Chain A
Amino acid sequence: MDLLDDDGPGGPGGSNSPELTVSEITGAVKRTLEGEFSHVRVRGEVGRVVVARTGHMYFDLKDDRNVIASVSWKGQVARLSHRPEEGMEVIATGRLTTYGPQSKYQLNVEDVTPAGAGALMAMLEKRKAMLAAEGLFAEERKKPIPFLPEVIGVVTSPTGAVIRDILHRLRDRFPRKVLVWPVAVQGQQCAAQVAAAIEGFNRLTPGGPLPRPDLLIVARGGGSIEDLWGFNEEIVARAAAASEIPLISAVGHETDTTLIDFVSDRRAPTPTAAAELAVPVRVELAAAVDQMGARLTRAVGQGVQLRGQRLRDLSRALPRADALLDTPRQRLDRASDRLPNALRAATAQKAILLGRVAGSLRPSVLQGRITQERRVLDRLSGRLAPALQRQLRDSRKEIDETRRKAADLMDRAGAAIAATRTRHRDRLEALDRLRQSLGYERTLERGYAVVRGDGAVVKDTKAAGAAKVLEIQFADGKITVGSGASPAKKSSPSKPPEQGTLF
């Protein structure tokens, strides 16, 4: 503050204020800030966290109004007791610095602690949800614990009650080779060391200078949540999940559950219980093996004995060989006796049969047969022509009959047609007579006449006057009256004078 204090009273805008270069003022600000805030504890929420390739970590600390840029250098990041995570409420410890090239100031953070137990638990829940979502807690990931491990790797503090308890219980049950990988079980180094130990055990190769354990126990005694916190770290959980060697976790008391318990293959409530899960009880096994050996001997002995007994029983029931053969031998004797006779008799019988069959086989038999068949053939041939003739006659008679029927039908049809024609003609003549009697010609015969004028029938005097020529038809002929036909006019005087008087 010296610089500013000294020059400040010079008055704002005073021309006698000394001119400062940008670097000078920047340096002054740097000195002031770093002098005044060389050790501060800042509480706030962690914003975005970025780890650069160089290993430096940049993050924001914020409250509801302001933000302060924060940075932890690579070396500091490794020593942080908690890695800041976005959304975490933390107390960051460090000092303010400036970054002149960008006119920025920032908090150089040397340590980060979660702000209160609530923040710790919230963070744990978040991690748990994340790892569960990745499937690291899945039952099917869990490997079976070997029945009797040869070498047990223990990750814990080399001093204290925990390793003592484990070794005691192992000695009681089944003494084994134990490799202890010493780690800090609390504090800032805890998580990294435990993770490195789990990975280190897994990197050991069988046959190497150090024997590779076939079972791991990660153990720690009880303590506060902060004490146990290392076993809640993500690197520890991931190392345990990635372990190819089956892993038993035993952290804290029975009521404490840390993140590693979710990913381990078995969770033991206490370190002692871990030892019990790790090995069976030797004495019990030895007893079981002895018992099995006794059963083995007894079973095979019994098997032989049983078979011997059965053999003796069967032998007793087995009949003598001579007695067995008696009956078949007797049968053989009897059969041998009967064999020559039987053969002779059979031959004789067959000879007789042959004689009988051969005797009836002669040419005359065949000849007789042929003659007989020929006779039958002749008889049938003689009957063939008359039968055909008869058939022909019958057919012809049938044809004649049919023809006669047809002629008869033709006659009847002709008569019927003629009768019909006569009947029609008679009817026509009758009709014509009727027609003539109804026609006007007959009326003429009774004294009537038909007058036609110019070809059309004249029915009244008006039409008669209009006509140039009148033609009158009588029963016996026609006359014409009018111009060019005076005689005709005179021959019919009756009508015109009548008309004249009327006019």
Chain B
Amino acid sequence: MTGKPVEEMSFEEAIRELETVVGQLERGDVALEDSIALYERGAKLKARCDAKLKEAEEKVAKITFDETGAPTGTTPLDAG
């Protein structure tokens, strides 16, 4: 288990640790107390993965510039 809070993990970090957790539990070589803690962490990791997957929103924007060519903001881009 890494020390990083699950809430700050990227999808990749979360799913990689979830795999490790599941593997450990399936091998059955962890103590009962530890397996409960592992399960709880696994559930949290799965929730994190689900959340990251739900974030799949498309937002496409085009950068706008001021007269010196520095980016100032965005406008929606409709590329069709």
Within 8 A of A (CB), among B30-80: 30, 32, 35-36, 38-39, 42-43, 46, 49-50, 52-53, 56-63, 69-71, 73-74, 77, 79-80
Residue-wise, chain A 361-381 has the 8 Å CB interface mask toward B (1 for contact) of: 000000000000000000000
Partner of B60, one of A167, A306, A307: A167
Within 8 A of A (CB), among B15-43: 15, 18-19, 21-22, 25-26, 28, 30, 32, 35-36, 38-39, 42-43
Do A296 and B28 have beta carbons less than 8 Å apart?
A: no
Tell me, in angstroms, the Cα distance from A297 to B25 when the chains sit together. 9
Tell me, in angstroms, the Cα distance from A296 to B37 when the chains sit together. 12
Evaluate whether A307 and B32 lie within 8 angstroms (CB atoms) in the complex, with A175-B57, A181-B63, A196-B69 already known.
Answer: yes
Tell me, in angstroms, the Cα distance from A129 to B14 when the chains sit together. 43
Residues of A within 8 A of B43 (CB): 293, 296
Expressed in whole angstroms, the minimum distance between the Cβ of A11 and any Cβ of chain B is 62
Residue-wise, chain A 29-59 has the 8 Å CB interface mask toward B (1 for contact) of: 0000000000000000000000000000000
Residues of B within 8 A of A297 (CB): 39
Tell me, in angstroms, the Cα distance from A94 to B25 when the chains sit together. 77
Tell me, in angstroms, the Cα distance from A146 to B11 when the chains sit together. 10
Within 8 A of B (CB), among A277-311: 282, 285-286, 288-289, 292-293, 295-297, 299-300, 302-304, 306-307
Expressed in whole angstroms, the minimum distance between the Cβ of B9 and any Cβ of chain A is 11
Do A180 and B60 have beta carbons less than 8 Å apart?
A: yes
Residues of B within 8 A of A179 (CB): 61-63, 74
Residues of B within 8 A of A347 (CB): none
Expressed in whole angstroms, the minimum distance between the Cβ of B70 and any Cβ of chain A is 8
Task: Specify the chain A residue showing the minimal Cβ separation from B52.
Answer: A148
Evaluate whether A174 and B56 lie within 8 angstroms (CB atoms) in the complex, with A210-B63, A289-B50 already known.
Answer: yes
Expressed in whole angstroms, the minimum distance between the Cβ of A163 and any Cβ of chain B is 5
Question: How many chain B residues touch A (Cβ–Cβ < 8 Å)?
Answer: 40
Evaluate whether A210 and B15 lie within 8 angstroms (CB atoms) in the complex, with A171-B58, A180-B62 already known.
Answer: no
Residues of B within 8 A of A296 (CB): 18, 21-22, 25, 39, 42-43, 46
Do A303 and B15 have beta carbons less than 8 Å apart?
A: no
Do B60 and A178 have beta carbons less than 8 Å apart?
A: yes
Question: How many chain A residues touch B (Cβ–Cβ < 8 Å)?
Answer: 41
Tell me, in angstroms, the Cα distance from A285 to B59 when the chains sit together. 20
Tell me, in angstroms, the Cα distance from A285 to B58 when the chains sit together. 17
Residues of B within 8 A of A146 (CB): 10, 12
Residues of B within 8 A of A304 (CB): 32, 35
Do B11 and A148 have beta carbons less than 8 Å apart?
A: yes
Residues of B within 8 A of A496 (CB): none
Do B15 and A289 have beta carbons less than 8 Å apart?
A: yes
Pair count A-B, CB < 8 A:
116
Q: Is there a chain B Cβ closer than 8 Å to A209's Cβ? A: yes
Do B73 and A289 have beta carbons less than 8 Å apart?
A: no
Tell me, in angstroms, the Cα distance from A174 to B42 when the chains sit together. 24
Tell me, in angstroms, the Cα distance from A263 to B52 when the chains sit together. 31
Residue-wise, chain A 123-155 has the 8 Å CB interface mask toward B (1 for contact) of: 000000000000000000000001110000000
Partner of A303, one of B35, B69, B71: B35
Expressed in whole angstroms, the minimum distance between the Cβ of B6 and any Cβ of chain A is 14
Tell me, in angstroms, the Cα distance from A488 to B46 when the chains sit together. 176
Task: Specify the chain B residue showing the minimal Cβ separation from A166.
Answer: B79
Do B18 and A300 have beta carbons less than 8 Å apart?
A: no
Q: Is there a chain B Cβ closer than 8 Å to A223's Cβ? A: no
Q: Is there a chain B Cβ closer than 8 Å to A21's Cβ? A: no
Q: Is there a chain B Cβ closer than 8 Å to A27's Cβ? A: no
Do A292 and B18 have beta carbons less than 8 Å apart?
A: yes
Evaluate whether A289 and B58 lie within 8 angstroms (CB atoms) in the complex, with A167-B79, A295-B26, A302-B28 already known.
Answer: no
Q: Is there a chain B Cβ closer than 8 Å to A176's Cβ? A: yes
Q: Is there a chain B Cβ closer than 8 Å to A158's Cβ? A: yes
Tell me, in angstroms, the Cα distance from A158 to B74 when the chains sit together. 13
Task: Other than A179-B62, A179-B74, A296-B25, give 6 A-B pairs with Cβ distance below 8 A.
Answer: A158-B62, A178-B61, A289-B15, A292-B19, A295-B26, A296-B22
The 5 closest A-B pairs by CB, nearest first: A175-B58, A299-B25, A147-B12, A300-B39, A296-B42
16 A-B residue pairs with Cβ-Cβ distance under 8 Å, sorted by A, are A146-B12, A148-B11, A148-B12, A163-B77, A163-B79, A174-B56, A176-B56, A177-B60, A178-B77, A179-B74, A288-B15, A293-B43, A299-B28, A300-B42, A303-B25, A303-B32
